[in-house]
A = this chain, B = another copy of it.
């Protein structure tokens, strides 16, 4: 099929090397206007699959770095992806699996089957293996674990015994730990002679006592500089706390960030060194945790940009349904004042202003609070002070915008009392919005509910309903 087309002029006949050469010769944006390199590959692979040229599709994907290959698979149409994964079979790079989006990985796992997954998992570092296996459903998980050699099986089962999102789940078993009575020379010899069983890459050597409790760590840079006869004990950095395996991965990530670590020692409940966490995994955790908070505040559970239409509709449905509920609640509050609105339609014109401003001011407080809770900046110790501050901010903003909005409505409707009523409702709603914006996430956090998920619903329900109630209630009392 491809041979029929004239060479050089059509991108369909180019090899990856030729594409890369063209991209390198020109600026990539000139070479492929409006497309980046991944887009081009994605298009070429789709075209190859459409033409039934699976060999070419395979070659295009296999030539890529695993991170790019995962990115391409993530973005493919589900049907194309299934065909390509089938064509790849056992040749799929095991490193691709942990880098895929969860949903895409499910599909790939389905295509590879239990034996295929087990073979891929066996070739992975223990942390990647756990990341892939923990996504499987119970039955698949059991079957994959059974298909593994006994040694891998024990490691995986031990990791799965720790809670989800804990240090124990994300750690790697592969590490270098040496006894404290060794010298630098002993350590170097150990690293050089046992290379097969030790990890390829490491940035620090951990030092343990006889009970296998960590004493501290020595960076590779320091090992390179030390004389061979130096006792390892003399150059150890003992000023680092190990990470308990049960610690939440978000807390681990914050410790890495604050301490500028590149790797951490993980210990079990008895304080024995059982693994390490490296910073490349922490980068992913920080990215994912921040993404989760941001998306949840926006009312979506995952990044569903490449999900199919129906899946996206279902994923966003719950949040919209809850919002329909709160909107109907707010509407029923307005319903209480139908008589008032009938007498004075201007109220219907202005009431969304009060509700909307409350929602916006509350969202500001809510966003800052959710972030501060995630960063552990907001704690029971300073909560009272911050609540007092947010209350003062809400009241001040309420007063400022009461004057502004009150004046506008006075000018608009030529009636001073309508401005005063609007202003008073604004002060009430913005003050309560500030309180709700901080108290609701604090309360949810205390009850171990993720404040990013549920706070927005409460906030909207209250700022809408209360906004309408305060404005229409005050109007009923003072304007009629």
Count chain B CB atoms within 10 A of each CB in A42, A316, A321, A357 and give the residue with the most.
Answer: A316
Contact check, A331 vs B312: say whether CB atoms are below 8 A apart.
no
Contact check, B397 vs A316: say whether CB atoms are below 8 A apart.
yes
Within 8 A of B (CB), among A378-436: 378-382, 386, 389, 392-393, 396-397, 400-401, 404-405, 408
Question: 1/0 contact trace for A313-353 toward B, CB 8 Å?
Answer: 10011011101100110111011001001100110111111
Q: How far is the CA of A34 from the CA of B379 in the complex (A)?
A: 8
A415 to chain B, nearest CB (A): 14
Contact check, B352 vs A334: say whether CB atoms are below 8 A apart.
yes
Q: How far is the CA of A173 from the CA of B262 in the complex (A)?
A: 20
Determine the chain B residues whose CB is within 8 A of the CB of A220 once the complex forms.
203, 220-221, 223-224
Known contacts A313-B400, A361-B316, A367-B294, A305 near B257 by CB under 8 Å:
no
Q: How far is the CA of A283 from the CA of B258 in the complex (A)?
A: 10
Q: Chain A: interface secondary structure?
A: helix
A284 contacts B by Cβ under 8 Å: yes
A85-93, A143-151, A154-162, A368-376 - interface stretch: A368-376
Contact check, B221 vs A357: say whether CB atoms are below 8 A apart.
no
Contact check, B379 vs A316: say whether CB atoms are below 8 A apart.
no
Among B350, B392, B401, the residue within 8 A (CB) of A320 is B401
Determine the chain B residues whose CB is within 8 A of the CB of A308 once the complex forms.
389
Question: Which residue of B has the minimal Cβ distance to A332?
Answer: B349
A230 contacts B by Cβ under 8 Å: no
A54 contacts B by Cβ under 8 Å: no
Known contacts A224-B188, A297-B298, A381-B42, A353 near B372 by CB under 8 Å:
no
Contact check, B39 vs A379: say whether CB atoms are below 8 A apart.
yes
Determine the chain B residues whose CB is within 8 A of the CB of A313 once the complex forms.
393, 396-397, 400
Determine the chain B residues whose CB is within 8 A of the CB of A192 once the complex forms.
224-225
A139 contacts B by Cβ under 8 Å: no
Determine the chain B residues whose CB is within 8 A of the CB of A361 once the complex forms.
316, 320
A446 to chain B, nearest CB (A): 11
A2-10, A194-202, A267-275 - interface stretch: A194-202
Q: How far is the CA of A404 from the CA of B327 in the complex (A)?
A: 13
Q: How far is the CA of A293 from the CA of B293 in the complex (A)?
A: 11
A93 to chain B, nearest CB (A): 14
Contact check, A400 vs B287: say whether CB atoms are below 8 A apart.
no
Contact check, B382 vs A324: say whether CB atoms are below 8 A apart.
no
Determine the chain B residues whose CB is within 8 A of the CB of A171 once the complex forms.
none
Determine the chain B residues whose CB is within 8 A of the CB of A260 once the complex forms.
67, 280, 283
Contact check, B319 vs A287: say whether CB atoms are below 8 A apart.
no
Count chain B CB atoms within 10 A of each CB in A290, A357, A400 and give the residue with the most.
Answer: A290
Contact check, A305 vs B378: say whether CB atoms are below 8 A apart.
yes
A477 contacts B by Cβ under 8 Å: no
Q: List 14 A-B contacts (CB under 8 A).
A: A36-B381, A65-B258, A191-B225, A220-B220, A279-B279, A293-B294, A294-B297, A298-B363, A316-B393, A320-B397, A324-B401, A330-B356, A341-B345, A341-B348
Other A-B pairs, 14, CB within 8 Å; known A65-B259, A338-B349: A35-B380, A200-B221, A290-B291, A297-B367, A303-B368, A305-B372, A309-B389, A309-B392, A312-B389, A320-B357, A323-B360, A327-B353, A341-B348, A348-B348
Nearest 5 pairs between A and B by C-beta? A298-B367, A39-B381, A290-B290, A220-B220, A348-B348
